[in-house]
Amino acid sequence: MKKTILFATLTLALGLFTSCGEKKQNGSKLLLNEVLVCNQSNYQDDYGQHSAWVEIFNKSYTSADLAGWYLKCCNGLSQGDTVTYFIPKGDVLTIVKPRQHALFWADGHPNKGTFHTSFQLDAETDNWIGLYDGGGKKVDEVRIPAGKLAADQSYARIQDASAEWEVKGASDDKYVTPSTNNQTISGNSKRDKFATQDPQGFGMAITAMSVVFSGLLILFISFKFVGKFALSLNNKEEKPKNAPQAKAEAPVKTAAGKAPEGEVYAAIAMALYELNANVHDVESNVLTMRPAEPTAWSSKANTMRQLPKKK
């Protein structure tokens, strides 16, 4: 009883600790991921215009719909003149697939389409951007200080959905990534290391063959023991332990002590059949049997087909 109470107490404490920890983190699937304020020669929209843009990332492994959500923007230190953009419903493109991105153009022309907002970004002032769900709850926000970004530079998370932000576009290793991962891997360190240690591929071949033959050996052993086990179960079912064993009948022997041959059984059976069918005439009860001697009529050679002789 004491162990049960202790286990329940520990479980409750762990649940409370986990729930408290989750409150500190952003539980939303969708986050602001990257923002470009001054677009001179960067990514173009569907009208061929260079406009500022805001990228949203779906960090979950299930699809999420942005329809009915809000994007809010304020240029300056205060949020008194906040412009709100309502993401319209009815557009299938607002469904963001798992671990994918959605790009909104901050050009102030919402009549151009679903992904064109009603606000613009100003490179000379602070830009505050907030993401709100359909219930008006703030999901995420970011503030880009004035003068922090040069032309064609973006303010983005170091990695998708990470907590740290950095400036991208100032160097070749940190470039602007609209609608794609904020950090891309150009090489495979494990593959490069393996290629250095095994340039000819002998190690890879030996490893592959070892894995294949090990798997075949395991399958052989498994099927062998499974077959024996199945046979033993089948034998137990056919011969129950409590079933009485049938006694073997002793072979019939003649007066001479030898078992009669098949010809004797056949003769006796034929005689009994003729007797029951009333085929015999009235005869004595003495039945005499003797082995048949080969004659011209019973010779197998006479029954064979004779080939004609060639002249």
Closest CA to 151 of 42, 35, 34: 42
- Percent of the chain residues past pLDDT 90, beyond the cut: 48
Average pLDDT over every residue of 55-69: 96
Q: Residue 201: what pLDDT?
A: 81
Helix (H, G, I), strand (E, B) or coil at 30: strand
Which positions ≥6 away from 26 have C-beta within 8 Å?
139, 140
Average pLDDT over every residue of 4-16: 56
pLDDT digits (tens, 9 = 90+) for 171-195: 888 899 999 999 876 666 677 777 7
Average pLDDT over every residue of 150-179: 92
24-184 falls under which CATH superfamily?
Answer: Lamin Tail domain (2.60.40.1260)
Residue 40 Cα to chain centre, angstroms? 45
Average pLDDT over every residue of 204-231: 90
Q: Return the amino acid letter for 260.
A: P
Please report which confidence band the pLDDT of residue 278 belongs to, taking 50, 70 and 90 as the band edges. Answer: low
pLDDT digits (tens, 9 = 90+) for 103-134: 999 999 999 999 999 999 999 999 999 999 99
Q: Residue 173: what pLDDT?
A: 83
Q: Residue 137: what pLDDT?
A: 95
Sign of the dihedral defined by the CA atoms of residues 193, 195, 201, 204, in that order: positive
Sole residue written with tokens 């001479």: 256
Q: Residue 195: what pLDDT?
A: 78
Give the start-end residues of each E strand in 145-293: 154-157, 165-168
Half-sphere exposure of 163 (CA within 13 A, CB side): 3
Are 70 and 85 contacting, i.e. CB atoms less than 8 angstroms apart?
yes
Q: Residue 18: what pLDDT?
A: 46
Q: Residue 19: what pLDDT?
A: 46
N-to-C CA span, the chain: 114
Q: Residue 23: what pLDDT?
A: 38
What six digits make up the tokens of 128?
Answer: 């505050």
Instruction: Work out the mean pLDDT of the chain and round it to a whole number.
Output: 81
Which positions ≥6 away from 139 have C-beta within 8 Å?
26, 28, 30, 31, 69, 131, 132, 133
Q: Residue 282: what pLDDT?
A: 59
- Percent of the chain residues past pLDDT 70, beyond the cut: 70
Q: Which residue has the higher pLDDT, 69 or 19?
A: 69
Adjacency order of strands within the sheet including 101-106: 101-106, 52-58, 30-36, 154-157, 165-168
Average pLDDT over every residue of 84-100: 95
Sign of the dihedral defined by the CA atoms of residues 22, 24, 25, 31, in that order: positive
Q: Residue 70: what pLDDT?
A: 96
Are 74 and 128 contacting, i.e. CB atoms less than 8 angstroms apart?
yes
User: Is the pLDDT score of 5 beyond 80?
Assistant: no
Which positions ≥6 away from 3 have C-beta within 8 Å?
none
Average pLDDT over every residue of 244-258: 59
Are 100 and 160 contacting, i.e. CB atoms less than 8 angstroms apart?
no
pLDDT digits (tens, 9 = 90+) for 133-149: 999 999 999 999 999 99
User: Is the pLDDT score of 291 beyond 70?
Assistant: no
Q: Residue 172: what pLDDT?
A: 82
Q: What are the domain boundaries of the chain?
A: 24-184
Q: Residue 196: what pLDDT?
A: 81
Which positions ≥6 away from 105 have C-beta within 8 Å?
45, 49, 51, 52, 53, 112, 115, 116, 117
Average pLDDT over every residue of 63-70: 96
Average pLDDT over every residue of 212-229: 90
Q: Residue 17: what pLDDT?
A: 47
